[in-house]
């Protein structure tokens, strides 16, 4: 039974809760390493002063010293450390690698039994550590040995939770093989091992590759632990890759060498004239005063600084996930070191995994950080849905309006929009061409169409991607001519890159553009239904567009903004538009209407009989009671919740994906907004 639940997602990152016998912790989390005999800062202070939630210590070290072993056996590892919060123990794998100990030094079964004996919350198997520079043949042997030990160990865990480490060195296919095999075993946490040497050699790109390779095959309802990741400049990118647990002794090791951890890298105290930090340690002293401290006092001050900085960055990561801003944070951190930037570039080349996991329906603004912005999951998904779901595929004229997107299109192209409203889509389509790609007028308010902030000077790679997206959309539409409004914008120059045999007329003013449309008829009264159809299909697929054809359907516009506010039928609200996303939220009547037009099964979540009554009363749909959900369903979608005979119970927002709904037995699957009996 899993002890993990998800509260929010961003990319592959999960804002979650993990429950142990000694309390529930929030993920992603960092576990400072505690040496049972050397830690200057007590485990209590790790929590009470610095704000950490959990620590990790080494069962091999405890077992190797009589004074530690006897007390741990008598009082448990919590008694040994005088600590009431969750504790994870390592098995000694890293010590065997670091000290080049013989294989028989630690018995894999005995170390599991010892961890159970000292009542750790999470024990760890003894895996076989693969150095990055060894050949494939040796790594294959290490993977095989790790799996053999895993199979021997997992059945011995009893009430102790246990971590099964994924190995495979730098070989992505071996990481996949290891993760596939380990994922079939009932581990509670899945560490990714063997990466410390990669970190020490700044091989961050390799860490990205092996982490993504492992993540493909690990159970989604279990936390992933990136063993030995303790530098704050790595946290954001590692969390974005889907790592939930981190641990490290870096705070102490770096301090002993006079080094300070920062979110932008590491600095030597001896080189500083100012302390570039606002933590309690640095705020109460100066660089010269700290440099003048006795050796032990200096090391303690640096340890405290390193802990404060690390804890703050982990909080920042969790908040960024909640805000949908983790990609930006990771991109900013990547600028602190070329090797991190290379790792980010590797990640953007493997964006499919992030797109698959990233939640739909975000509302946060997107700030340009570099060429990677154009391939962010939110932007990619928008383009993909326009390609596959935009309803208007045949027209006479396409108007293309280049735009930076810094102001609403209703301000920058109001005259053109007013005229397009008078035309049917078969006569004219209006497309805004921004650095993120093509935004059809009908979807101008759908996130992230007008939430992307780009500079006026856009990099060539972003423009190349925008041009490709324009070409792809034009290839899906049958039309006679393009009217290109040639005005100041980074994307204006893309008119010279069109590769099709198109008839293109360039204009330099709104009036000249409008003149290309011919005679304007009286203003149509159903332009808003045109917009409604596009949003319905963008959100729920082809059949959902039929709602716009229902006799009596009406759109209520906001008096202050002129945007669609409600959709009604016979004076009853079917849908409300969320201002921050431009998407529709269905009421119960709206849900029934979507069922009538047979929307795709992707957006239907079926509950078990025992939970149906609670959902019908407005309670959240819990994952453990989900009977069926589509593997194509993404977190963040507006869904319909049904009982086992397909009666509508409620409508709401999916907090996790369909696959996760089936896998998880903890947490909320759908946050119900409207229900039958509420």
Q: Which residue has the higher pLDDT, 518 or 658?
A: 658
Kindly state the tokens that stand for 585.
Answer: 């939220």
pLDDT, residue 523, reads 56
Residues 510 and 547 in one domain: no
Instruction: List pLDDT tens digits, range 103-144.
Output: 778 999 999 999 999 999 999 999 998 988 899 999 999 999
Instruction: For residue 242, give the CATH number of its domain.
Output: 3.20.20.105
pLDDT, residue 664, reads 96
Domain that holds residue 411: 366-515
**What is the spatial distance between Cα 227 and Cα 205, in angstroms, rounded to a whole number?**
16
Quick one: pLDDT band at residue 525, thresholds 50, 70, 90?
A: low
In DSSP terms, 670 is beta-bridged to: 621, 654
Residues 487 and 399 in one domain: yes
Q: What is the mean pLDDT of the chain?
A: 95
- For residue 151, give the H/E element and its range: helix 136-154
pLDDT, residue 464, reads 96
What burial class does residue 79 get, using C-beta atoms within 10 Å of its C-beta: 0-12 exposed, 13-18 middle, 19+ buried?
middle
- Given a contact cutoff of 8 angstroms between Cβ atoms, the answer to whether 106 and 100 are in contact is no
pLDDT, residue 1, reads 59
Does the pLDDT value for residue 560 go beyond 90? no
In DSSP terms, 397 is beta-bridged to: 428, 481
pLDDT, residue 406, reads 87
Residues 465 and 554 in one domain: no
Residues 452 and 502 in one domain: yes
Instruction: List pLDDT tens digits, range 210-254.
Output: 999 999 999 999 999 999 999 999 999 999 999 999 998 999 999
Does the pLDDT value for residue 524 go beyond 80? no
Instruction: For residue 398, give the CATH number of its domain.
Output: 3.40.50.10630
Q: Where are the alpha helices (DSSP H) in 478-564?
A: 510-515, 527-540
Q: Is residue 579 a part of any domain in this protein?
A: yes
Instruction: For residue 563, give the CATH number of its domain.
Output: 2.30.130.10
Tell me which residue of 603, 588, 498 sits closest to 542, measured CA to CA.
603
pLDDT, residue 519, reads 63
pLDDT, residue 236, reads 98
Q: What is the pTM of this model?
A: 0.95
Helix axes 172-183, 204-215, angle to 10 degrees: 40
Q: Is residue 35 a part of any domain in this protein?
A: yes
Query: Per-residue pLDDT averaged across 663-669, rounded?
Result: 95
Quick one: pLDDT band at residue 510, thresholds 50, 70, 90?
A: very high
Q: What is the dihedral of CA 466, 472, 474, 475, to 10 degrees?
A: 160
Residues 563 and 482 in one domain: no
Query: Per-residue pLDDT averaged across 613-633, rounded?
Result: 96
In eight-state DSSP terms, residue 550 is S
pLDDT, residue 620, reads 96
Residues 499 and 584 in one domain: no
**What is the spatial distance between Cα 296 and Cα 267, in angstroms, rounded to a whole number?**
19
SS (H, E, C) 300-344: HHHHHHHHHHHHHHHHHHHHHHHHCCHHHHHHHHHCCCHHHHHHH
**What is the spatial distance between Cα 360 and Cα 539, in angstroms, rounded to a whole number?**
10
Residues 195 and 242 in one domain: yes
Residues 251 and 380 in one domain: no
Q: Are strands 13-20 and 4-10 parallel, antiparallel or unpaired?
A: antiparallel
pLDDT, residue 521, reads 59
pLDDT, residue 39, reads 83
Does the pLDDT value for residue 426 go beyond 70? yes
Does the pLDDT value for residue 520 go beyond 60? no
**What is the spatial distance between Cα 523 and Cα 185, in angstroms, rounded to a whole number?**
65
**What is the spatial distance between Cα 544 and Cα 27, in angstroms, rounded to a whole number?**
37
Q: Which residues are catalytic?
A: 90
Residues 502 and 560 in one domain: no
**What is the spatial distance between Cα 210 and Cα 166, in angstroms, rounded to a whole number?**
10
Residues 49 and 117 in one domain: yes
pLDDT, residue 434, reads 97
Query: Per-residue pLDDT averaged across 598-627, rounded?
Result: 96
Q: How much of the chain, in percent, has pLDDT values that exceed 90?
A: 91
Q: Domain total for the chain?
A: 3
Instruction: List pLDDT tens digits, range 450-490.
Output: 999 999 999 999 999 999 999 999 999 999 999 999 998 99
């Amino acid at each position: 039974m899993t002890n993990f639940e998800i509260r929010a997602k961003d990319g592959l990152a999960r804002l979650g809760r993990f429950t142990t016998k000694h309390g529930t912790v929030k993920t992603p989390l960092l576990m400072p390493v505690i040496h049972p005999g050397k830690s200057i800062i007590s485990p209590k202070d790790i929590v009470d002063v610095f704000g950490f939630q959990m620590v990790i210590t080494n069962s091999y070290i405890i077992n190797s010293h009589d004074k530690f072993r006897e007390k741990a056996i008598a009082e448990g590892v919590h008694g040994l450390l005088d600590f009431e919060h969750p504790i994870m123990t390592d098995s000694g794998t890293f010590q065997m690698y670091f000290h080049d100990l013989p294989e028989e030094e630690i018995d894999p079964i005995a170390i599991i039994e010892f961890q159970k004996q000292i009542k750790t919350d999470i024990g760890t198997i003894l895996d076989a550590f693969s150095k990055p520079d060894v050949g494939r043949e040796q790594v294959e042997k290490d993977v095989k040995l790790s799996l053999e030990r895993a199979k021997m160990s997992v059945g011995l865990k009893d009430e102790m939770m246990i971590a099964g480490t994924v190995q495979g060195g730098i070989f992505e296919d071996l990481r996949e093989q290891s993760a596939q095999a380990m994922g079939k075993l009932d581990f509670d946490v899945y560490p990714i091992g063997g990466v410390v040497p990669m970190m020490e050699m700044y091989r961050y790109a390799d860490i990205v590759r092996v982490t993504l390779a492992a993540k493909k095959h690990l159970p989604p309802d279990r936390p992933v632990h990136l063993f030995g990741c303790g530098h704050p400049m790595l946290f954001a990118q590692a969390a974005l890759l889907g790592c939930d647990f981190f641990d490290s002794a870096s705070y102490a090791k770096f301090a002993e060498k006079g080094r300070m951890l920062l979110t932008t890298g590491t600095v030597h105290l001896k080189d500083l004239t100012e302390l570039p930090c606002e933590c309690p340690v640095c705020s109460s002293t100066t660089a010269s005063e700290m440099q003048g401290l006795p050796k032990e006092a200096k090391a303690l001050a640096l340890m405290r600084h390193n802990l404060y900085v690390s804890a703050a960055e982990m909080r920042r990561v969790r908040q960024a996930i909640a805000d949908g801003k983790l990609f930006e944070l990771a991109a900013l951190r990547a600028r602190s070191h070329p090797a991190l930037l290379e790792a980010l570039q590797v990640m953007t080349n493997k964006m499919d995994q992030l797109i698959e996991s990233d939640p739909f329906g975000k509302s946060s603004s997107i700030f340009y950080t570099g060429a990677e912005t154009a391939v962010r999951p939110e932007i990619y998904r928008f383009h993909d849905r326009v390609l596959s779901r935009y309803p208007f595929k045949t027209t006479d004229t396409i108007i293309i309006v280049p735009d930076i997107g810094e102001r609403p299109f209703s301000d920058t192209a109001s005259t053109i929009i007013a005229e397009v409203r008078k035309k049917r889509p078969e006569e004219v389509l209006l497309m805004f061409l921004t650095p993120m790609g093509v935004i059809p007028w009908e979807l101008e308010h759908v996130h992230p169409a007008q939430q992307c902030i780009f500079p006026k000077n856009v990099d060539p790679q972003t423009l190349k991607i925008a041009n490709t997206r324009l070409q792809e959309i034009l290839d899906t539409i049958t039309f006679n001519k393009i009217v290109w409004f040639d005005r100041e914008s980074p994307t204006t120059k893309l008119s010279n890159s069109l590769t099709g045999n198109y008839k293109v007329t360039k204009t330099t003013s709104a009036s000249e553009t409008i003149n290309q449309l011919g005679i304007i008829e009286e203003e149509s009264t159903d332009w808003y239904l045109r917009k409604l159809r596009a949003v319905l299909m963008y959100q729920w697929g082809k059949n959902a567009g039929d709602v716009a054809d229902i006799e009596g359907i009406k759109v209520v516009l906001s008096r202050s903004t002129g945007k669609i506010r409600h959709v009604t039928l016979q004076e009853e609200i079917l849908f409300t538009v969320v201002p921050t996303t431009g998407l529709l939220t269905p009421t119960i009547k709206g849900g029934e209407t979507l069922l009538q037009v047979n929307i795709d099964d992707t957006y239907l979540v079926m509950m078990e009989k025992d939970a149906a009554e609670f959902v019908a009363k407005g309670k959240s749909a819990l994952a453990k009671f989900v009977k069926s959900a589509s593997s194509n369903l993404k977190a963040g979608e507006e869904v319909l919740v049904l009982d086992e005979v397909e009666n509508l119970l409620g409508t709401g927002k999916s907090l996790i994906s369909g696959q996760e709904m089936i896998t998880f037995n903890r947490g909320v699957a759908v946050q119900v907004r409207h229900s039958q009996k509420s």
